[in-house]
Structure 1
Amino acid sequence: MQGGSSDLRHYLKQFEPKLVTVLREGYGWRDLRADAVAGLTVAIVALPLAMALAIASGTGPEKGLYTAIVAGFLISALGGSRVQVGGPTAAFIPVVFVVIERFGFGGLVLCTLMAGLMLIAAGLLRLGTLMRYMPQPVITGFTAGIAVSIFSSQVKDALGLQMESLPAEFIPRWTAYAQHLATTQPATVALTVGGLVLIFGLRHWKPAWPGFLIALVACTLAGLGLALPVETIGQRFGELPTALPPLQMPDIPLDRIPELLPSAFTIAFLAGVESLLSAVVADGMSGGKHRSNGELVAQGLANIGSALVGGLPATGAIARTATNVRAGARSPLAGVLHAAFLLAFMLALAPLMRYVPLPALAAVLLVVAWNMSEHQQFRHTLSAPWGDRVVLLLTFGLTVLFDLTVAIQAGLAVAMVVFMVRMAESVEISQGGGGAGGEDDPALAEDSTQRLRLPAGVEAFRIDGPLFFGASNRLDHLLDQFIHAPPKVLILRMRLVPIIDASGTHALHNFAKRCTRLGITLVLSGVQAQPRRVLGDMGFRAAHPDVRFAATFDDALELSSSLADTAE
């Protein structure tokens, strides 16, 4: 009973918010002052991003602010990272845009709710640790693809093209751009270029300054002072709200759930991967250690909270988290205060935000797209083995041309196939007693001349590597060379087989049956603990009572000698 209680406490401990842990350890005024400065710094960075990301997603800027405030508060207050900052991120733009295009904003709310429930379930099932096994070419491929999609979505506002609607698909979108290229507005292009120059210039000369916010303010003042004919937030979306909306349960069309499940899974997947990647980055910068499963549960609750106020999907934001750490954050309270400062900004500045020109927000998102592209990592992965290059280019191409759901599924499937091929190629079946890994490793080696010690009528083969479904067919043709003159005894050396699965057991089962048909006595030598257990559990010994087992190769040689003599 005591052991069960201890296990339960250990299980629940991984979901304890880091904020609770920090407060229990002790928290003083100096810590609060440092967190307040960091929270204000991140809020200044997050304000233009929240609006820009929402507009790029096909909805109003207030949705981004709601998300940054509500989800940002919940992620920091309940999460498993000490300095994680959450909110809307660029990774969601292609998915959210397509969902709104096909199902309306109500469909997105339902998707976000389902994604939140999926994230909570993943955390409770302790799947957070599995995220570390995500293949890097898949992550780089869909991240670069998202960057191209974001760039593609901003051409209209960056050039001021006179278009009523923007197609969701990549090729139709660029076809529409080409058809409306003659409607480019010089003033809009000038403001976009000015914003880009200012952001990159500040990044080079004054990297500590909030470049996005400064560019937004400068472009707004330029647009008003010069009376430039550019579209503003107020012209497209009207007045921004000056308060958070009340919590409300949306009208859920249950019959649409099957259609929305793939998009909900994609949102949950992106939220889980990006939040845990951000938490790892934060650990590296701050020296902390996050609780991955607790972080997933917090991300799920944050997405549910965002959906209930009409917000967007949310996750941990790597750039904002890094800004938080560099600004001196000491606890999750910095992220909580960042949400409070954003709420204050919305309440105080909403009447002024209507004058922000859309080209300035387009410039912000073009820089975000460039940052997301990971062009250096992309080029680096192109020099990897062929399998990684295929996974990278496939995931990238499908993300751009189709959608993220298809890209992730195909990328993971191909990555698994590539892994299986590599593992299968690493398995060697060599004849005799010598071979790789012999003389240099006394723990594994046997005498390289052991083949010379084989008694008459005895053959030996060694399997080197895991005997799993990708490599099980390597046994199929082993006996073909003995069709006309089979040995009396065949030793299969398995000391270098660390694991075996159902397919490997099935292959070994068929191999033993062929040995019986050919009149060969099979001896398995040096079977390790895991293969021995699997073979026993799957009834191999019961099905093949004539198969002999030997602890070492020397034992196998002695047993084979007596068996060969008996056969004569």
Structure 2
Amino acid sequence: MGNRDFRIEATRLTPREAVEHYRSLVGQHLISVAGLWPTRRDYTGLRSSWAKDLLAGVTVGVVALPLALGFGVASGVGAAAGLVTAIVAGVVAAVFGGSHLQVSGPTGAMTVVLLPVIAKHGVATVPLLAILAGLLVIAMALTAVGRAVEFIPVSVVEGFTIGIGVIIGLQQLPLILGTERGEAESTLVSSWLTLGATDWTRAWQPLVVAAGVIALHLVGHRFFRHLPLSLIAIVVATVAVELAGADVDRIGALPTGLPSPVFPEISAALVQDLAAPALAVAALAALESLLSARVADGMRTDITPTQPDRELMGQGLANVASGLFGGLPATGAIARTAVNVRSGARTRLASVSHAVVLLLVMLLLAPLVSRIPMAALGGVLLVTAGRMINLRLVRTLTHVTRADRNTFWLTLGATVLLDLVAAVLLGIGMAALMSLRHMASYSVVARQNLPTNTREGDVDFSPGHEHLRPRVAIFRVDGALFYGDARRFVDEVTAVDEATQAVILRCHRMRILDASGADAIKAVARQLRARDIVFVVQGMTESQLRTCRLMRAFDEDCHVRELSEAVTRVERDLASRV
């Protein structure tokens, strides 16, 4: 039983069958484009859940207001742009997206990407950047890229998330110190320059405001965690600053309505300059939105799961719409989505109504909102950043496996020191490298001796050939023979002593063979032939034989199906030499 061949041989298609197969796949996907748009089914159950959805929308709107204002300021574009983004992108993504529970808008991760772009190209390019990124995300939806998020390891996601938390925290230094932001692409360098330029005789006032906001969050989280603490802290800080007459920066004038949609100025040179940033923003928008939707799916398993490609379509359209209204690039927001789920939302009405709440604030309360201290927003965002840094999870990932530890710390470091897209790519690369190393460690080239049990029974040398036992080396390949362990395989098999006259390579447990593995077998065959050693391969599948045939690894007659055939072949070939 232990030697039974459980390998599954993949079906091989003729060239004509392959063409028909891929034509069918393309046709199916083109037909499925219809599934990327809203339908009546999106609002199934609305009659019974509309009250809860509206209440959840109001709750999320209250939570989203300070975050939208704060991320607009933190990005360098302004509080008004953050509010416009939350309203426009929030509605469009809710209607067209693939998640019933996702809440979209400006996020901390996006501010991390935008700051260096604004420093290089100016604030005026941000709407065009949002439109270009949105078009790229739409292209991802049409090419079914959405499912790729399932392949991102947890260690990469968490390293990325905690790294963003660190960067968001550092980006609040200008707000809580009342100082101009240091001019540098690196957040670390910019933070250092900000500290160096701070006037500490004035900085104590915004610091006190930010500290008060953080203290209210800490106390409220302990005793009143169901209240909208961010909004309460903002209101208390604003009233306190007004009564004390403190000298701190305010948000300033906000529009009292949505601006008219306008296509930003565009030129071939500008599009070329923004191509790389747009790709980074699109990748981040897709990644963060799909991860946020996955979190929401895990929180409410009774709701229809997210359609990843439709979610990308919704986020792409939301970014295009946001850019047309002069807003920022937007993504699905994990924190606001989690609040939406915990508040009892069941349909998209909750996400739409959150945007309506923000619009009403803009229409009715803009003069009051303009008096909010910038330091209060900085304090709210520091609390948000702190919640993203889960120290317990850091300890867990550090001790789970070496692969998870290395991947996590590389992703975290790259997020803080480089940029977000590079961090994800490096993290995935490290995870793939560690997985290959892990697979290589479980790929075994084991030395065997006869007799041994096989699926055809016990196999041994025939009577009269017992003298061949010390002269025949048998190696069994378990698992994979691929580029990760090809060199080790060659070294082990060719290290047979001078008394060896024949080598049998058993491949009946080999599941994976790539071109490098076939080339390693070819190198073994060549070296053994040069030493006049008989070489027999046993037990390959048809696809493995095809790979070896294409790589010219060994002659066709060197391969046999069963071990008994291999032993008989060796006995015959060695007997002919006597």
Shorter chain as denominator, the TM-score bin is 0.7 to 0.9
Alignment equivalent of 1:418, drawn from 434, 455, 458:
434
The count of aligned residue pairs is: 553
- CA spacing shift, 1:408–1:183, aligned 2, 3 Å: farther
Equivalent position amino acid for 1:399 in 2: T
Q: 1:60 aligns with which of 57, 64, 78?
A: 78
Cα distance in 2 for residues equivalent to 1:449 and 1:61? 82
In structure 1, the residue matched to 2:507 is 494
Q: Which residue number in structure 2 is paired with residue 357 of structure 1?
A: 373
Alpha-carbon offset, residue 181 of structure 1: 5.4
Once structures 1 and 2 are overlaid, which stretch shifts more, 14-23 or 556-565? 14-23
Unpaired runs of 5+ in structure 2?
A: 1-19
Asked if the contact 1:462–1:492 (Cα under 8 Å) also holds between the matched residues in 2, the reply is: yes
Residue equivalent to 1:211: 229
Pair 1:83 & 2:101 matched: yes
Residue 513 of structure 1 deviates from its aligned partner by 2.9
The change in CA–CA distance for 1:429 and 1:6 in structure 2 (over 3 A counts) is closer
- Which residue type is aligned with residue 507 of structure 1? A
SS at match of 1:493: strand
C-alpha separation in 1, matches of 2:415 and 2:46: 47
- Deviating more after overlay: 357-366 vs 148-157: 148-157
**Deviation sequence 1:219-254 (CA, Å, 0-9, x none):** 1111122222221111xxxx2112222222222343
Residue pair 2:166, 2:416 contacting (<8 A) in 1 also: yes
Q: 1:532 to 1:306 in 2, by over 3 A?
A: farther
8 A contact 1:458–1:564 mirrored in 2: no
How has the CA–CA distance of structure 1 residues 97 and 181 changed in structure 2, closer, same or farther, with 3 Å as cutoff? same
> Matched residues in 2 for 1:267 and 1:9: separation?
29
2:64 to 20, 23, 46: 46
Task: Please name the residue that 2:539 is paired with.
Answer: 526
1:171 corresponds, among 189, 192, 197, to 189
- 1:556–1:70: structure 2 CA closer, same or farther, 3 Å change rule? farther
TM-score between the two structures when normalised by the length of structure 2: 0.86
Instruction: Output the TM-score relative to the length of structure 1.
Output: 0.88
Offset of 1:360 from its aligned partner? 0.9
CA pair 533-243 structure 1, distance change in 2 beyond 3 A = farther
Which whole-Å CA distance do the structure 1 matches of 2:518 and 2:166 have between them?
A: 46
1:18 deviation in Å? 8.1
Partner of 1:73: 91
Relative to structure 1, the CA distance from residue 193 to residue 110 in structure 2 (aligned partners, 3 Å threshold; closer, same or farther) is same
Q: 1:498 to 1:34 in 2, by over 3 A?
A: same
Local SS of the residue matching 1:377: helix
Distance 1:434 1:466 in 2: 24
**2:286 alignment partner, SS class:** helix
Partner of 1:157: 175
Single out whichever of 92-101 and 182-191 deviates more from structure 2.
182-191
User: Could you say if the C-alpha distance between residues 539 and 257 of structure 1 is closer, same or farther in structure 2, counting changes exceeding 3 Å?
Assistant: same
1:343 paired with 2:359, answer yes
Please give the alpha-carbon distance, in whole angstroms, between the structure 1 residues aligned to 2:156 and 2:448. 41
The 8 Å contact of residues 14 and 293 in structure 1, kept in 2 or not, is answered as no
1:281-300 residue pairs with structure 2 within 5 A?
Answer: 281-287=295-301, 288=303, 289-300=305-316
Alpha carbons 1:464, 1:494 under 8 Å: kept: yes
CA distance in 2: counterparts of 1:420 and 1:559, whole angstroms: 36
1:463 aligns to what SS in structure 2? strand
Q: In the aligned structure 2, how far is the partner of 1:259 from the partner of 1:460?
A: 61
Letter paired with 2:443: V
CA displacement, residues 457-494 of structure 1 (integer Å, 9 cap, x when unaligned): 43211111222221222222134324744423x22111
How many Å apart are 1:96 and its aligned residue? 0.8
Q: Distance in 2 between matches of 1:294 and 1:501?
A: 36
2:508 is paired with a residue whose SS is strand
Q: For the Cα contact (< 8 Å) 1:524–1:547, is it kept in 2?
A: no
In structure 2, C-alpha distance between the alignment counterparts of 1:151 and 1:90, rounded to whole Å: 10
Alignment CA distance shift 1:28-1:50 (3 Å): closer
Alignment-derived partner of residue 503 in structure 1: 516
CA shift for structure 1 position 202: 1.9
Report what 1:475 is aligned to.
Answer: 489
Q: Is residue 2:292 matched to residue 1:278?
A: yes
Partner residue, 2:131: 113
Unmatched 5+ stretches in structure 1: none
Change (3 A) 1:514 1:120: farther
Distance across 1 between alignment mates of 2:367 and 2:90: 23
Partner of 1:552: 562
- Aligned-pair distance for 1:110? 3.8
Whole-Å Cα distance in 2 between the matches of residues 207 and 494 of structure 1? 61
Partner SS, residue 325 of structure 1: helix
- Does the 8 Å contact 1:18/1:81 carry over to 2? no
Query: CA 1:158 to 1:23, structure 2 compared with 1: closer, same or farther past 3 Å?
Result: closer
Partners of 2:82 and 2:235 in 1: CA distance: 18
Distance in 2 between the 1:514 and 1:2 partners? 42
Aligned-residue CA RMSD in angstroms?
A: 3.2
Higher alpha-carbon deviation: 256-265 or 115-124: 256-265
Aligned equivalent of 2:41: 22
CA distance in 1, matches of 2:130, 2:524: 52
Equivalent residue, structure 1, for 2:207? 189
Q: Please give the per-residue CA displacement for 1:527-552, whole angstroms capped at 9, x wherever unaligned.
A: 2354345345x354xx6335522223
Q: Which moved more, 1:14-23 or 1:308-317?
A: 14-23
Tell me how far apart the structure 2 counterparts of residues 518 and 21 of structure 1 sit (CA, whole Å). 74
User: Are the equivalent residues in 1 in contact too, given 2:182–2:192 (CA < 8 A)?
Assistant: no
Q: 1:525 to 1:21 in 2, by over 3 A?
A: farther
The code of the aligned residue for 1:551 comes to R
Q: 1-side partners of 2:459 and 2:217: how far apart?
A: 67
Amino acid across the alignment from 1:563? D
Contact 1:524–1:549, Cα closer than 8 Å, also in 2: yes
Q: Check 1:6–1:114 CA distance in 2 against 1; reply closer, same or farther (3 A cut).
A: closer
**Paired residues of 2:473 and 2:504 also in contact (CA < 8 A):** yes
Letter in 2 for 1:244: L
Q: SS at 2:481's partner residue?
A: coil
Structure 1 residue 16: Cα displacement: 2.5
The residue aligned with 1:463 is 477
Kindly indicate whether the alpha-carbon contact (under 8 Å) linking 1:299 and 1:315 is maintained by their aligned counterparts in 2.
yes
Q: Secondary structure in 2 aligned to 1:251? A: coil
User: Quick check: 1:250 aligned with 2:260?
Assistant: no
Work out whether residues 129 and 292 of structure 1, in 8 Å CA contact, stay in contact via their aligned partners in 2: yes
Alpha-carbon contact 2:284-2:421 (below 8 Å) kept: no
